[in-house]
Amino acid sequence: MSTPRRVEHQMTDKGYVPVYTTAVVEQPWADYTATEHDTWARLFRRQREILPGRACREFLDNLAALGMDDRAIPKFDDLNRHLGRATGWRLVGVEGLLPELTFFEHLAARQFPVTWWIRRPEQFDYISEPDLFHDLFGHVPLLMNPVFADYMQAYGAGGVRASGFGPESLAELTRLYWYTVEFGLIATPEGIRIYGSGIVSSKGESVHCLESDAPNRIGFDLKRVMRTRYRIDTYQKTYFVIDGFEDLFHATVDPDFAPIYRELAGHEPIPAGAVLPTDRVYHRGTGEGWLADGDV
């Protein structure tokens, strides 16, 4: 079996551009180098250290239940045995970023695409695209949670339908994923905690999102979130706080989104850092360090 390709973003005169791939591949576990296992180990230990008291209990408990540790890059097959028993989800290896519709189709089939390769040592603190550490450590623990697992499938199914509704609908759905699956916070009896995978896989943002005065922390509201632009180059200006994973499931399962797209049509998107009079505000950000433009 030959090693799958490593498909990465490419540098052009317009900056890094995303490169898409659709192949599903076997994880070439025997080919990982000592350096790659060491990158996993160091990233794992660093996040495992700072996440207690910051990440939600569901994330931490399921990380342990999956048997991930700092000894070696996990094998997808081992994780799949746990996942299959818990929620019927399955990891599939991919070479890099997937086109939107392909990604939605995987989720709708309860398959989570995981990039087989891990970042290089010089990308230890920041990589602009998903790698194995982000995908496995960040995303897989919550796929063990039955409510969250159902949300992810419903989201994928919604995405498949939205691809027929045009770019505006897709943008709205992408914002929902961004502000929940990637950068979501959750209110718990012990305080606000992290569940978003983009946060739990980042040392800096794990601290920033909870402890910095700069960003807004606002109660989750489906239509508000679907209108809100976001940042891909810096920490988020706004984080949305759910009351429980049921919030997410109800947000996607009831509507087929079509009435929401119609309702949102003609409304201007909301800037990433804005606070509206109707918002349920946990914390109004000071805006310190925010760049004036660059929301996507």
Name the one range near Fe ion by CB under 5 A: 43-51, 66-74, 100-108, 190-198: 190-198
Smallest gap from residue 258 Cβ to Fe ion (A):
26
Name the token pair of 110. 């309860």
Q: One-letter amino acid identity for 205?
A: E
State the binding string over 192-231 for Fe ion (x if CB under 5 A, else -). -----x----------------------------------
State the binding string over 52-91 for Fe ion (x if CB under 5 A, else -). ----------------------------------------
Closer by beta carbon to Fe ion, 197 or else 238: 197
User: Using only C-alpha atoms, what is the Rg of the chain?
Assistant: 18
Smallest gap from residue 144 Cβ to Fe ion (A):
16
Smallest gap from residue 198 Cβ to Fe ion (A):
6
Residue 190: how many other CB atoms lie within 10 Å: 9
Q: Active-site positions?
A: 134, 139, 182, 201
Name the one range near Fe ion by CB under 5 A: 36-44, 115-123, 191-199, 270-278: 191-199
Smallest gap from residue 91 Cβ to Fe ion (A):
13
Closer by beta carbon to Fe ion, 138 or else 269: 138
Closer by beta carbon to Fe ion, 181 or else 218: 181
Closer by beta carbon to Fe ion, 248 or else 260: 248
Closer by beta carbon to Fe ion, 157 or else 199: 199
Smallest gap from residue 286 Cβ to Fe ion (A):
28
State the residues that interact with Fe ion by CB under 5 A: 197
